[in-house]
Amino acid sequence: MLSVRDLDVRYGKIQALHGVSLEVHEGETVALLGANGAGKTTTLRALSCMLPSTGEIEFDGSTLTGMPSHDVVGLGLCHVPEGRRVFPLMSVAENLEIGAQRFKSRYPADLQRVYELFPRLREREAQLAGTLSGGEQQMLAMGRALMGRPRLLLLDEPSMGLAPMIVAQIFDIIRVINGQGVTVLLVEQNAAQALEIADRAYVLETGSVSMSGRGRELANDPRVRAAYLGA
């Protein structure tokens, strides 16, 4: 579904990504792991064309390199950014409606699906998004992306800053979303949780892919365990 070859990204004179190559197959959950500053968020932002890049990005036969980001969404690739980025002065329902711009005719059915995944959002639908807890805002950001009926969902640090009980809920929901046919590319510092649900994973170090493999294989790799799992 997604093929990335020799992806380079620069911030001025600083090169953030160095020839990153990866693949995501339809129906998979793929994790992208790495320390702070390794280039994980930059990779997702480049894939959704929010950053200029060089190299090849192909999504379901379409070349994304240089495409406007709103056209990328139109192809079925939706990005849930780090930090949630909900619209704080708009209600939960209004935030979700923004995500439904591509499929307004299907809005009632899609809204019902999101509320089934996130019952808390139904309870808070009239509440301003800025007054929600961190976990509720993460649910809203994911729900807003799902209103766009993504075929590939990019999730950037969905567990960041959340209590362990909420983290478990978020990862359970990611499993359900994937089981419903949405392919997932997940950036996550919680390597243990990410590798538990990932079919495959890549490890980024200083802007380059240093390791890749099946999720379980990497979870048992001594280098990954020492660097990311505290073992």
Model confidence pLDDT, tens digit, residues 13-56: 999 999 999 999 999 999 999 988 899 999 999 999 999 999 99
Query: What CA–CA distance (Å, rounded) separates 70 from 81?
Result: 15
Which pLDDT score, from 0 to 100, does residue 105 have? 56
Half-sphere exposure of 193 (CA within 13 A, CB side): 21
Model confidence pLDDT, tens digit, residues 184-205: 999 998 899 999 999 999 999 9
How far from 56 is each of 6, 46, 126, CA to CA, in Å? 7, 11, 43
Closest CA to 73 of 39, 50, 52: 50
Which pLDDT score, from 0 to 100, does residue 65 have? 85
Which pLDDT score, from 0 to 100, does residue 161 have? 85
Report the run of H or E that residue 214 belongs to, with start and end: strand 208-214
Model confidence pLDDT, tens digit, residues 168-189: 999 999 999 999 999 999 999 8
Q: Angle of helix 107-117 relative to helix 164-179, nearest 10 degrees?
A: 140
What mean pLDDT do residues 196-215 have? 95
At 162, the pLDDT band (50, 70, 90 cuts) reads confident
How far from 43 is each of 4, 55, 73, 163, CA to CA, in Å? 10, 12, 16, 26
Which pLDDT score, from 0 to 100, does residue 103 have? 65
Model confidence pLDDT, tens digit, residues 95-105: 999 888 776 65
At 230, the pLDDT band (50, 70, 90 cuts) reads low
Strand partners, 3: 23, 58
Q: What is the pTM of this model?
A: 0.91
At 125, the pLDDT band (50, 70, 90 cuts) reads very high
Which pLDDT score, from 0 to 100, does residue 98 have? 87
More confident residue, 127 or 107: 127
Tell me which residue has tokens 């379980």.
216
Which pLDDT score, from 0 to 100, does residue 137 have? 95
Q: Please state the φ and ψ torsions of residue 125, each to the nearest 5 degrees.
A: -60, -30
Model confidence pLDDT, tens digit, residues 52-63: 999 999 999 899
Which pLDDT score, from 0 to 100, does residue 83 have? 80
Which pLDDT score, from 0 to 100, does residue 127 have? 96
What mean pLDDT do residues 114-123 have? 95
Average of per-residue pLDDT values in the chain: 92
Model confidence pLDDT, tens digit, residues 47-87: 999 999 999 999 998 999 888 888 898 899 999 998 888 99
Given a contact cutoff of 8 angstroms between Cβ atoms, the answer to whether 43 and 20 are in contact is: yes
- Residue count (the chain): 231
Domains of the chain: 2-76+150-228 (3.40.50.300), 89-148 (no CATH)
Give every CB contact of residue 32 below 8 A, 6+ residues apart in sequence: 22, 40, 43, 44, 185, 186, 187, 188, 201, 202, 204
